[in-house]
Structure 1
C-alpha cells in the first residue's frame, strides 16, 4: 500500500463529514466502491449528495472517497488499482485504452467555460482581441482553447493563437491575472469562470456555442467516471448502481435548491452571488441521460486534434472502440 500512503492527503481519506456512525455501520455490510477525488474538486458535490442521501446504500454499495493530491495522483491511483473509479476526461481514457488498459468512460459532465473579460473592457468579441493578452488555464492543448481557436479560424479567418499573446498557468493564477488586469481576457475551468463572472467579469465567447457553430455536438460530455471493463464484468450490479446513484444525485441537485445547502461549505463561495453562479454552472453541465454518441465524440476529437497534435492525442487518430460505457451494456 505504499502508493496509498504516498498519494493520499494526511487525514483525508474519509473527508465527507457529518455522516455519523449509523451510516458507517450500514456501510460495513455493503461492498465498497472506492473513488479517487480531489479535496476541492467539484466532483465532491455529487459524491457528497450520493453519500449524504444514501443513494449508494439504496443501490447496494458504499461509495468511499479517497482524497488525492492532484489530478495526476488520481490517474496513478486508477492505473495502480488503488481505486475503482475516478473522474477524468475521455481523451486521457482513450489514450490509456489505446495503450492496452481496459478503461472505459461513463458520462459525468458537459460543463465548459468560455472566454471572459473584465466588465469595463472595450473587448466585445474575439475580433477585438487582436494584439491583446489571453490567460489560459492549463497549457497550449487546453481543450476549450483548441475549440475557440478552431472557431476563430471559421469566423475570423485567422487563428486566435496568431492574433494574440498567450499566458499559460494554473487555474488560480489565471484567475488572479484576469482579476488584476495582468491579462486582457481569460479561459479557465468552468467553476472558476463562474466565480469570476459573479465578481463582475463577462463572457464574450462560449465554448459550447463555438462548438455548435463548428458543427460539433456541444452536449458531448468531456468528463466522466473511469471504470475498467473487467471490473464492470465482475461487478455489474455495482457498475449499474454507480450510474444510477450518479443520475439520482444529478436529478436531486437540478430540481431541489435545498439539496445544495449541505454542499455550500465545499464550494468556496464567498457570498450568495458566487454560490448561485456555481450552482447554475454545475446544473448547466448535467449531461443527457443517454449514452455518448461515439460519432459526435470522434468529430470533436478530430477538431481538437487538428490543432493540438500528438501532444493532445498521444498519437491517436481515432477514438478506440469500447471507449464509452452505458449501464445497459452491463447486461
Structure 2
C-alpha cells in the first residue's frame, strides 16, 4: 500500500495493473509568492520566474495554466520562466526570494506559508473556475484488487480506521501533540500551518464522485495527453474501492 493521486493509479490500471484507490485527501496546494510581492493575480507574474516541484506535467501547474488562459487570456508557460526541481529545492528557493512564485506539494507549501510567503491563488479556486469538483479527493491509498479479493471487508475496515483518525485529528489538539514529533515542524508556525492545511484537505465521507473524477481526467488528458494519463482516457472500471 502507498499513497498516490488516482490519475496515476488510473494510468497504471489502463496499462494492465490491478490497483484500486481509497480516498485519502483533497489537499492540492496552490501558487505562493513572497510576502512582500505586489502580485495580486497570475497576470502580475508575467516576465517573472516560477519554481515548480516536479516537471511540466505537474497537475497543479497544468490546472493553473488552464485557469490563466481561461480567466486572463494568458499563456502562463510562455509569459513566465519556469524552474522545475525537487520539492526541497523549490522550498528553499521560494523562501529565499529567488522565485517570483512557487508551486510545491501541500506540506512544503504549508511550511512556506509559515515562513512568510502568501498564497496568490489556490488550485482549489482555479479548479472550481474550470468547472471541476474540487471536493473530489485527488490523493488516495492504493493497493492491489487481488489482495482485497483475498481479504473481504479489508478495504472498508481500513477506510473506517482512516476516517476515525481524521475525525480525531480534526477535533483534538491533544491528538496533534501526540503526532507532532513525527511532523518535522521546525517552528510553532510550521506546526500550526501543517495542522490547518491537513485538516482542510479532509474529504467528505463517502464514495468518490465518478462524474467529478471523469471531468478531472478529461481535463488532464486535454492538458497533458498520453504523456500524463497514458491510455486512461476514461475512469477504469473498479478504480475506486466500494467504501463509504
Range of TM-score over shorter length: over 0.9
Partner of 2:129: 213
Partner of 1:138: 54
1:1-331 correspondence runs (5 A): 85-327=1-243
* Greater radius of gyration (CA): 1
Structure 1 range deviating more: 86-95 or 136-145: 86-95
Q: Shift in Å at residue 304 of structure 1?
A: 2.0
Partner of 1:75: none
Distance in 2 (CA, whole Å) between partners of 1:130 and 1:315 is 34
CA contact (8 A) 1:150 1:303 kept: no
CA contact (8 A) 2:53 2:87 kept: yes
Q: Shift in Å at residue 200 of structure 1?
A: 0.7
Q: Shift in Å at residue 163 of structure 1?
A: 1.4
TM-score of the superposition, structure 1-length normalised? 0.72
CA contact (8 A) 1:91 1:313 kept: yes
For structure 1, the 5+ residue unaligned runs are 1-84
Structure 1 range deviating more: 314-323 or 245-254: 314-323
Give 3-state SS (helix, strand or coil) of 2:137's partner.
coil
Partner of 1:48: none
Q: Shift in Å at residue 139 of structure 1?
A: 0.6
Distance in 2 (CA, whole Å) between partners of 1:264 and 1:316 is 39
Distance in 2 (CA, whole Å) between partners of 1:314 and 1:225 is 20
TM-score of the superposition, structure 2-length normalised? 0.97
Q: Shift in Å at residue 230 of structure 1?
A: 2.1
Give 3-state SS (helix, strand or coil) of 1:255's partner.
coil
Partner of 1:35: none
Structure 1 range deviating more: 235-244 or 108-117: 235-244
Distance in 1 (CA, whole Å) between partners of 2:181 and 2:119 is 27
1:241-292 Cα deviation digits (max 9, x unpaired): 2111111101101111110112111111112111010000100111110111
Give 3-state SS (helix, strand or coil) of 1:326's partner.
coil
Distance in 1 (CA, whole Å) between partners of 2:242 and 2:3 is 15
For structure 2, the 5+ residue unaligned runs are none
